[in-house]
Amino acid sequence: MSASATTTPQGEREDDDLARMSFGDHLEELRRRLIRALGAVVLAALVVVPFKNEVTEVYTAPYEVMWIAAYEQFLDGLDQEVAAAKAAGTELHPDKQAIVAFHASRRQAILDGTYPQDLYPLIYSQGNFRLPRTLKALGGLEDFWVFMGAVILASLLLAAPVVLYQAWAFIAAGLYRAERKAILRYFPFAVLLLVCGASFGYFVVVPAGLFFLIQLMNWARVESMMSVALYFSFLLTLTAALGVIFQLPLVMLGLQKVGLVSHEAMKKNWRHVVLGMFIVSAMLTPPDPFTQILMAVPMTSLYLIGLLLTARSARAAEALA
């Protein structure tokens, strides 16, 4: 049975011959779609699980980037101490000389990744670089649960085409043609912004934020011993938050198109919005100003992009009026 021709009070909707379904039919359709999506995720997980080393390297890569940056800074400090001793005509402490000799013969191998991984503890013990190159599992199952969390995320990414199609097939059946066109028009941009936000967090914010936090430590009194669960939570929180935050231009455009907020209102209240962004950044990031700025500055830039989009949309609406 088909629905009769309908219009909204503004006459915006068309007759799309939407099929009428009972509540039970909707539940049955939802069940079938969920089973198919879940099946795709399970199959993807079976593909990912055997590659534990590769998956672990993916989510620990930002920590490795941070570690290399901290190690290079440590080497610069050693070189400065050696140069200062030569300039003053004095000799370094014998233990310090041993540390300098250790890194002089190994620094290139350590930096380019050819230094044997089973010898990493020597960088800490003999090289006196007090930042472990590997994350720590504080409990017997901590590494396992973190890996399983990473498997779920990787499976969702691999199965995303199937999952998204099943979700779309269920939702689209209840939408009018114009609504479907609007979603299909903006969805690719939403995915692109999500990927850009998560990538910005993965490649920039997480390594830089960790590096800044490490610099705040007094290594003579406090040493970093980051657990893999704490690190993974930090990584997931920042990348997910930035992925969502990068949707801001589309959200602004959507609010304008449905008439909730005008372009003029967004433009007039930009100071309050920017202040709110810094507050949100402070809530979503560790308690350090550097990481907060790394998140707040892109948010402000995205807001400016949103203003450009809403201004263009407002001009187009005026031209049609």
- pLDDT tens track, the chain, 321 positions: 444 444 444 444 444 444 566 777 778 888 999 999 999 999 999 999 999 999 999 999 999 999 999 999 999 999 999 999 999 999 999 999 999 999 999 999 999 989 999 999 999 999 999 899 999 998 889 999 999 999 999 999 999 999 999 999 888 877 888 888 888 888 999 999 999 999 999 999 899 889 988 888 888 788 888 899 999 999 999 899 889 989 999 999 988 888 888 888 898 888 888 888 888 887 766 666 777 788 888 888 999 999 999 998 888 878 776
In this prediction, residue 8 carries a pLDDT of: 47
| Residue-level pLDDT at 224 | 83
Q: Would you state the pLDDT for residue 280?
A: 80
**Tokens 């998140």 found at:** 295
CA-closest candidate to residue 214, choices 130, 139, 93, 144: 130
**CA–CA gap between residue 68 and residue 133 (Å, rounded):** 9
Does one domain contain both 188 and 268?
A: yes
**Residues 183, 309 share a domain:** yes
Question: Residue 265's domain spans which residues?
Answer: 176-320
154 domain residue, yes or no: no
CB 295 within 8 A of CB 205: yes
DSSP, collapsed to helix, strand or coil, labels residue 19 as strand
Closest CA to 298 of 173, 207, 198: 198
Q: Count CB neighbours of 239 within 10 A.
A: 22
Domain assignment present for 105:
yes
H/E stretch holding 214: helix 206-215
Tokens matching residue 271: 């100071």
In a domain, 120, yes or no: yes
- Does residue 212 sit in the same domain as residue 311? yes
Q: Model pTM?
A: 0.83
113 and 190 co-located in one domain = no
Is residue 100 domain-shared with residue 188, that is, in the same domain? no
At residue 12, the pLDDT reads 45
Bridge partners (DSSP) listed for residue 227: 136
In the block, tokens 């590494």 appear at: 143
How many structural domains comprise the chain? 2
Number of other CB atoms surrounding residue 101 within 10 Å: 12
Q: What is the pLDDT of residue 46?
A: 96
Q: Answer whether 163's CB lies under 8 Å from 37's CB.
A: yes
Q: What's the CA gap between 25 and 121, in Å, rounded?
A: 61
Residues 87 and 211 in one domain: no
**pLDDT value of residue 2:** 41
Residues 71 and 185 in one domain: no
The vertex-204 CA angle with 279 and 215, nearest 5°, equals 80
Same-domain pairing of 314 and 203: yes
Q: Supply the pLDDT for residue 176.
A: 83
CA distance 104 to 176: 69
Residue 268 resides in a domain: yes
Q: Is residue 243 situated within a structural domain?
A: yes
Do residues 180 and 247 share a domain?
A: yes
Which among 125, 142, 159 is the end of a domain? 125
What's the Cα-to-Cα distance from 108 to each of 71, 78, 207, rounded to whole Å? 11, 15, 21
